[in-house]
Structure 1
Amino acid sequence: MRLVAWQPDDLLRRLDDVVTVYGEAMGYRPELLQTRRGYIGSHVRRPGFRAVATLTTEGRVAGFGYGYTSAAGQWWHDQVRYALGEDSRRQWLTDCFEVVELHVRPAAQGHGVGARQLRALLAMAKGKTVLLSTPEADEQASRAWRLYRRYGFDDVLRDFYFPGDERAFAVLGRELPLVERPLEDASGAAGA
């Protein structure tokens, strides 16, 4: 598999594949996916848009991720803004990159694809902070939670409900840039 940076038109050309991966990863019904298709297609023109994709050797989309500069007037930004106090708004939303989607086909999960996509996306991100939302889950059982915690994402909001969704979400954030920490070997010593 290879990780590639996508321009807006690259994502639009592969929109059917992206929506399929999204549906498989999230377990969503087909009728919901048509709505998401429209949202995803409109996101590519937002300021600061960055995208990555993981392609198999056959060119199939195994995973993707994208985000953009979070700003007033965007649905997600406004929902989170209204839930935060003034100090938190200044801290998290003043110069923020929003990770909008980050998904991996279930068959490709557990092989580091999501981690590579997240690292690449954060390396391209512009801003002082990055935010994302993820369904509340047992943190120990969820691969997504473990991934976000491993990359230093902290709680910004917990048990948050977006209008139209019955599930509780967590909004997680971290400062940018992402500084890679040296890997440790089994003895705990930093490797080269």
Structure 2
Amino acid sequence: MTGTGNYRKFEGVTVTYMPISRLEFAQLAPQLVDIYLQAMNYSRDMRDQRITVWQRDSTEPGFQAVIAHDGTHVLGVTYGHPGSHSHWWTQQIMRGVFETGGPSAAQREVLASFFELTEIHVAPQCQGMGIGTRLIQELLSLAGQRFVVLSTPEVPGEENSAFRLYRAFGFEDLLRNFVFRGDPRPFAILYAALPLSARLPAAER
């Protein structure tokens, strides 16, 4: 694997952060989904379905993707696209907003112009090296919207690396304990103003 990008060394390994095209993303989707399954500890029974979903996502207007690699292996991936009120994900969030008495002025402002950070995953053996931090920075540097919005599973006390990373970047609550239709798990819907702070979070994923 070759390409230009930004480099940072970890224990003798040079990590490259590189935007990839829609076509490259679709071609790499099986490999990228494998990282997702490992990072989330999901069953491989989901693999074919997720590959199809990720490849479909790459056709969204304004789609952007960034990978981290060491020249041989992909170590992490993140992707997203501008939010749209025609999308199921946004419609679900709007449902949650109305069900909780909104939209407030702040919620209305965020949902008027946002980039949906759809997925960010780092291979388990490479977590804790700051790769997730850099992936977010690289991806969102490509976004032209006023805000970024993401969803992450709720955990007690926000005690996991994902929440620590998002909070360090200044993400705030849009909705909490929100349940998407078809998924019984509660999610936090978080947002941050763009551009993100240039500082590197102390808590790295």
TM-score normalized by the length of structure 1: 0.90
Aligned-residue CA RMSD in angstroms? 1.7
Gaps of 5+ in 2: 1-14
Provide the C-alpha distance between the structure 2 equivalents of 1:134 and 1:81, rounded to a whole number of angstroms.
Answer: 17
Q: Aligned letter for 2:18?
A: V
Alignment: residue pair count: 183
Q: Any idea what the Cα deviations from partners look like across 1:159-184, whole Å, max 9, x if unmatched?
A: 01112212111000011112314899
Aligned to 1:73: 86
Aligned to 1:190: none
Provide the C-alpha distance between the structure 2 equivalents of 1:178 and 1:97, rounded to a whole number of angstroms.
Answer: 12
Asked if 1:86 corresponds to 2:125, the answer is no
**Cα distance, 1:45–1:183 mapped onto 2, change above 3 Å:** closer
* Aligned-partner SS, 1:32: helix
Asked if 1:42 corresponds to 2:74, the answer is no
Provide the C-alpha distance between the structure 2 equivalents of 1:131 and 1:48, rounded to a whole number of angstroms.
Answer: 15
Structure 1 consecutive aligned stretches of length 4 or more whose deviation exceeds 4 Å = none
Q: Aligned letter for 2:85?
A: A
**Cα distance, 1:83–1:140 mapped onto 2, change above 3 Å:** closer
* Aligned-partner SS, 1:19: helix
Shift of 1:124: 0.9
Asked if 1:172 corresponds to 2:186, the answer is no
**Cα distance, 1:134–1:183 mapped onto 2, change above 3 Å:** closer
Gaps of 5+ in 1: 185-192
Shift of 1:35: 1.6
Aligned to 1:130: 148
Shift of 1:6: 1.0
1:139 touches 1:146 (CA, 8 Å); kept in 2? no
**Cα distance, 1:146–1:130 mapped onto 2, change above 3 Å:** same
Alignment of 1:119-158 (within 5 A): 119-139=137-157, 141-158=159-176
Aligned to 2:65: 51
Shift of 1:86: 2.5
Aligned to 2:119: 101
**Cα distance, 1:148–1:183 mapped onto 2, change above 3 Å:** closer
Provide the C-alpha distance between the structure 2 equivalents of 1:36 and 1:92, rounded to a whole number of angstroms.
Answer: 28
